[in-house]
Every structure is written in C-alpha cells, then in structure tokens.
Structure 1
Amino acid sequence: MGVDVVLVRVERKGTSPKRRHARQVAVVLDTQDRFARLCVSSSLPMLSRADPYGTLVLTRQETNQFVSEVEAESVRSEDPELKDLLGEVLGLARCCEAQEGSELRLEGD
C-alpha cells in the first residue's frame, strides 16, 4: 500500500499527445508504507490527495505547494526514519520545481 514518489521528465515532439514520452529520472520507494500513512492521515490538501491505490500526477507548478506541505510534515514528525524519507521526497520535488518539463508522480500500489 506504499506511495512511491517518481520524478519524470516529459518529452514532447510536436503538439500531438501521442508524441508525449515520459522517462523516469529518479524514484523514492515507500517500502514500509510510511509516506502512504502520512498522506492518508494528513489534513493538508495536496498530501491528502495522494491515493495509496492510484496515481497522482503533479505538474512543475503544483510542486511548490507540495514542497511546503512535505516540509511542514517533516517539522512535525519525531520519527527519524520518516524525516529521512521526507528529505528524499523533498529532494525530488525540488528537482521537479527546477526542471522544465518535469512531473512528480505519487504512485500507489
């Protein structure tokens, strides 16, 4: 039931959606379901949208709010393993913010 965080680079040749190609750049695996449990229990709007059984695609523009919410949860957390995981998630989200043509995907099982 984990929610893996995947940084994707989207390449488009022309304007047709058929020519859209997504390439995985990096991933943070939620092997112990820590991020999934955080998202399900979170009262923050972006995090609570993550679905442990589906995929949520965040555009580069949406990652700003996502970063703020993950930072807030990291400050609140007292679990060092969760803090480390959130640090990795933040790293991918910040890369997404900085790179044109990037998406961040929250992929449930």
Structure 2
Amino acid sequence: MRKQIICWVLLGTTCNAVPAMACTQMQVLPSPKVAKGAMMTLVCKTDIDVKQVAAEIAGQEWNAALPNLYDDGSHGDSAANDKAYSLALTAPTVSGTYRVKFYRILPDQNELESQLLTFEVQ
C-alpha cells in the first residue's frame, strides 16, 4: 500500500511515496547454516507490488546473479501472491561466508537495494 505525503516542492502538491526498503524481511533457508551443495532458498518479503525481485550472492570463490525470484507458489516459493519472493537453488560447494543482496524493481523501473545479508556454508 502506498503512503501519501505532502510534496512542498511544487506548491504543496500531494504525491505517492514508496517505502525505501528493498525487502521488509530477508531470509536464507535453512538457517543459520547451509550444507555444501544442499538445496537452499532465498526469500525477500516486500510490502508493495513490484515488477521483479532479483538477488546477487557473493563469496570468495563463488558468485551468482539471480535475476528472478518468484511469488508463484513454485521455484521454492511457499505460497503464490503473498509478496514473499523466493528462489530455491543449490548452495555453493565451497565452505565460507557468503553475502546476498536483494533488488526490488518497481513498476516505474526504479530499483531499491537491500542491506547485505550474510550466511554460512559448511
């Protein structure tokens, strides 16, 4: 749901503001540690309608760009249309600390980044 704010720049006109967070909730499952080469799921819960949710994972020896997380009840997503975008994937086969960043692309093409979320692979 969009929030209304007052925009004083143009004679006090009213406009819609979008919350400035990429995800209201972020998870890497299973948590807190993921087994090497096991299935894992990334989850980004959002509070408004979005065009797309993407993610990037970075580690010392393994990186991945994931252009599509899903809210369709498949691909590791638990329920369709609940604004929780998910993706099931195979975890890295190298132990270490990894960082994931989510990107929320809005219908107007604006993009918001999440803070980094770290997870351990053992």
Same-fold call, TM cutoff 0.5: no
The structure with the greater share of residues assigned to strand is: 2
Instruction: Report 1 or 2 for greater relative contact order, CA contacts < 8 Å, sequence distance ≥ 6.
Output: 1
How high is the TM-score relative to the length of structure 1?
0.33
TM-score after normalising by structure 2:
0.30
Answer with 1 or 2: which has the greater Rg. Answer: 2
